[in-house]
Structure 1
């Protein structure tokens, strides 16, 4: 039996009390940053180069190679009992074993009155250095563009998959939601102040006032 199963939820309950792991992460917690990843005209190579450059830069500032992390992958259930071991995201983890993965389900995550709103969840504990995060971030950037690779779903269809990367040591949760942007939340705003300063030009203007007020 996998003794790891409850631990990621215990971590959230202890450090992010009341938080549901769902989008939009930034609006679901008191301390956070929301970044704009867009710069050029959509669907050009320069556009995706900029999206990936920004996402990777922010990720590498948020995580060190030795950080302990949880990778949480959620996907709409459809008829599938659980997330396939052969999926693209799992393939981006070095030497992943099936017994490292904890599977569960969550109901009514987005639709409280919908019995069919069921999400499959896969949770993996690892260190950042095992994670090919560049490929994962690129796949997220491509999620709304069927002709682009890499993709989470090899069948070339749109997906409801969501990826959350939790920094256990720094108590930060990272979610790149698509090519438009990414959210970071934390338990202590001082933890994310260096990220706020370093990438201030990329803060989403719509939320800039709210974010600036955190650090006044």
Structure 2
């Protein structure tokens, strides 16, 4: 099943890929990465360490994953102004001799409400590869460093990594934290137990309720 829409409809029919993913998912954990909106370089390595550790614990090298990113555009900021850089960034973090395709689709603005300008639209880019073929550390570094405006690390958009082998979703929403969603709580029970100290305190009660019977 290579189409991301078909996969989501079958495996996560009631979940849309947008923030706040944690609050819109029945089985999820929200982790504190230790960063903030004014991220200092001294905190970057902590954020990267936690995000990479959680990813590597959740995923196995031979798992199939969708790398998905969303970019919002409007007349003053057309997709043509960012697409080339985005495609280059995705290609840079994929390490494989096997042919792969970066798919693109235009869709309605994901956060649209009655007051939004009709001209704002969202573009989704996604590709399906093996975990082993993704330079995860470089991808997460690009996402985190975009928070402190490092020129060499352009933003890679609103990033989701979906594992179709264990049916989980990994969403590093910004330098403050990340959400991990699962189809079954048993799949992420190990994360809940092993990295319990990293759970965001604000949501700890809700998370404990999800896993309380185990």
- The interval holding the TM-score normalised by the smaller chain is 0.7 to 0.9
Unaligned runs of 5+ in 1: 154-160
| C-alpha separation in 2, matches of 1:19 and 1:116 | 25
Aligned length: 205
Q: Over residues 143-191 of structure 1, what are the superposed CA-to-partner deviations in whole Å (9 max), with x where a residue is unaligned?
A: 22114643336xxxxxxx2010000010000000111000011111111
1:210 aligns with 2:210: no
Q: Which moved more, 1:83-92 or 1:199-208?
A: 83-92
Q: State the TM-score, normalizing by the size of structure 1.
A: 0.86
1:50-89 paired onto structure 2 within 5 Å: 50-77=46-73, 78-80=77-79, 83-84=83-84, 86-89=87-90
Q: Which moved more, 1:84-93 or 1:100-109?
A: 84-93
Greater RCO (CA < 8 Å, at least 6 residues apart): 2
| C-alpha separation in 2, matches of 1:49 and 1:93 | 22
CA drift of 1:70 comes to: 0.5
| C-alpha separation in 1, matches of 2:45 and 2:52 | 11
| C-alpha separation in 2, matches of 1:182 and 1:191 | 17
Q: After TM superposition, what 4+ stretches of structure 1 lie above 2 angstroms from structure 2?
A: 42-46, 81-87, 95-99, 147-153
Equivalent pair of 1:110/1:117 in contact (CA under 8 Å): no
Equivalent pair of 1:29/1:185 in contact (CA under 8 Å): yes
User: What residue number does 1:132 align with?
Assistant: 135
CA drift of 1:112 comes to: 3.2
CA drift of 1:80 comes to: 1.8
User: What residue number does 1:167 align with?
Assistant: 163
User: What residue number does 1:196 align with?
Assistant: 192
Query: Which structure's residues are more often helix, by fraction?
Result: 2
User: What residue number does 1:157 align with?
Assistant: none
